């Protein structure tokens, strides 16, 4: 088949590295248009050389000179800044990976949709903050969005060939994160280092902490609603410590289809890269006899207030996702910065949502990018004011 033009946004991150790995295994199949990164310019330059990319972009202007020095004489173009990342997204591609962390990933993903190709979507914030707008843009340009998060890839795969009207429920599994076996009263003292170790997955720092608080799962529930169009009532979550079943889809005849995969994101990335075919992906094959058993338990809302907040967002819609995400990012920054405790993150997000709901700011009939970005700004500011006031 023809050589495909591909770009990777957030190439130096955990998802990005895994994507680059798969592309590098079949260089003849791809023409790499753009790779983007942040502060890790040495690694970005290395990737750009290995994949012979046309363009390498760092998100930060102050990193430009460093990136340019690494790529001197390589013939690879260099650029810096958020606008340069958006410009990189304007270069036509057949397939693009959206794996920038945080709300910064929204605009580049949106811009790639204009080419009408495939957007492999790892960035959770895109669907949480602007789901209806993102899907409308994809439709308008004839683009296809494929989920990369393992849970959503699992649901997507379980739905192939099915009538979504026959779906009764979707179950998103959660590992329970770093603190799943901690007594509740100890959680308020959880430190940054403790929150940064995940029992099953090796991921970026922010998503690892979000896994411990279950904010990551909260985001995934909201994404499930936005991407697949299921209602809050249809979407369940269950603690599954082994993280081998990523999601299950239940049909009206009582059948429950489970998707299993190893703790290696290349299975979901590979699915999106090869779709609609199934290509070879070099992940470990699961040895079920060695695994022995799979366990499940209820996700206790008292232990995981983020899940209750996700329900609120799913039922409220409008700008609540944008507010939720921005408040969560601000809360995470404050936790990483040592300004608030682990349990304060959910309280802070709840307070921000309450304030915004109080003056009717979350309502919005038609999402636009401007409204989403405005809400992002407002919610962050409120969160920031609360954090500063608390000190």
Binding site for ligand NDP (CB under 6 A): 10-16, 37-40, 59, 99-101, 104-105, 122-125, 149, 201, 203-204, 206-207, 265
CB of 224 to Mg ion, least distance (A): 11
Q: Is the link from the previous residue into 276 a cis peptide, with omega within 30 of 0?
A: yes
* Cβ nearer to ligand NDP, comparing 120 with 167: 120
Among the listed residues 205, 199, 150, the one whose alpha carbon sits nearest the alpha carbon of residue 177: 199
> Does the CA dihedral 186-187-189-192 come out positive or negative?
positive
Q: Which residues 78-97 are close enough to bind Mg ion by CB under 5 A?
A: none
Check if the beta carbon of residue 304 is closer than 8 Å to that of residue 212: no
Residue 218 interacts with which of ligand NDP, Mg ion, none, CB < 5 to 8 Å by class: none
CB of 175 to ligand NDP, least distance (A): 12
Instruction: Kindly report the three-state secondary structure assignment for every residue of 93-122.
Output: CCEEEECCCCHHHHHHHHHHHCCCCEEEEC
* Cβ nearer to ligand NDP, comparing 38 with 321: 38
Q: Flag whether 339 is marked binding.
A: no
Provide the strand spans (E) within 91-208.
95-98, 118-121, 144-147, 167-174
Q: Flag whether 197 is marked binding.
A: no
Q: Flag whether 325 is marked binding.
A: no
CB of 102 to Mg ion, least distance (A): 16
Beta-carbon contacts of residue 323 (< 8 Å; ≥ 6 apart): 352, 353, 356, 361, 362, 375, 378, 379
245-251 sheet: strands from edge to edge:
235-239, 167-174, 245-251, 256-260
Helix (H, G, I), strand (E, B) or coil at 380: helix
Of the candidates 149, 210, 223, 329, which one interacts with Mg ion according to CB under 5 A? 149
CB of 382 to Mg ion, least distance (A): 28
User: Interface with Mg ion by CB under 5 A: which residues?
Assistant: 149-151
Known binding site for NADPH: residues? 12-15, 38-40, 123, 125, 204
Known binding site for Mn(2+): residues? 149, 151, 220
Known binding site: residues? 12-15, 38-40, 123-125, 149-151, 175, 198, 204, 211, 216-217, 220
């Amino acid at each position: 088949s023809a050589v495909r033009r591909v770009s990777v946004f957030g190439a130096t991150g955990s998802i990005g590295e895994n994507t680059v790995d798969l592309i590098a295994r079949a260089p003849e199949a791809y023409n790499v248009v753009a790779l983007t990164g942040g502060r890790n310019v040495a690694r970005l330059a290395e990737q750009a050389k290995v994949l012979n990319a046309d363009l390498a972009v760092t998100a930060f202007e102050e990193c430009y000179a460093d990136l340019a020095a690494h790529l001197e004489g390589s013939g690879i173009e260099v650029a810096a800044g958020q606008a340069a990342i958006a410009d990189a997204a304007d270069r036509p591609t057949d397939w693009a990976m959206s794996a920038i962390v945080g709300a910064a990933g929204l605009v580049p993903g949106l811009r790639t949709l204009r080419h009408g190709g495939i957007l492999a979507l790892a960035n959770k914030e895109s669907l949480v903050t602007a789901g209806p707008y993102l899907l409308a843009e994809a439709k308008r340009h004839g683009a296809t969005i494929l989920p990369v998060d393992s849970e959503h890839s699992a649901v997507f795969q379980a739905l192939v060939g099915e009538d979504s009207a026959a779906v009764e429920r979707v179950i998103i599994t959660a590992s329970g994160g770093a603190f799943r076996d901690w007594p509740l009263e100890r959680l308020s003292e959880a430190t940054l280092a403790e929150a940064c170790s995940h029992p099953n997955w090796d991921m970026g720092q922010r998503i690892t902490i979000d896994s411990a608080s279950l904010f990551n799962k909260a985001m995934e529930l909201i994404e499930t609603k936005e991407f697949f169009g299921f209602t809050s009532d249809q979407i369940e979550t269950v603690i599954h410590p082994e993280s081998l079943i990523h999601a299950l889809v239940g049909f009206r005849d009582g059948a429950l289809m489970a998707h299993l995969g190893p703790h290696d994101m290349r299975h979901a990335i590979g699915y999106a890269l090869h779709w609609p075919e199934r290509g070879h992906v070099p992940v470990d094959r699961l040895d079920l006899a060695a695994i022995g058993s799979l366990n499940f338990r209820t996700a206790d809302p008292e232990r995981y207030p983020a899940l209750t907040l996700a329900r609120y967002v799913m039922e409220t819609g409008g700008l609540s996702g944008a507010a939720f995400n921005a408040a969560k990012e601000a809360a995470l920054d404050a936790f990483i910065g040592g300004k608030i405790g682990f349990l304060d993150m959910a309280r802070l997000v709840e307070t921000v949502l309450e304030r915004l709901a109080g003056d009717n700011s979350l309502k919005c009939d038609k999402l636009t990018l401007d409204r989403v970005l405005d809400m992002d700004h407002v919610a962050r500011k409120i969160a920031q004011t609360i954090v500063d006031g608390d000190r």
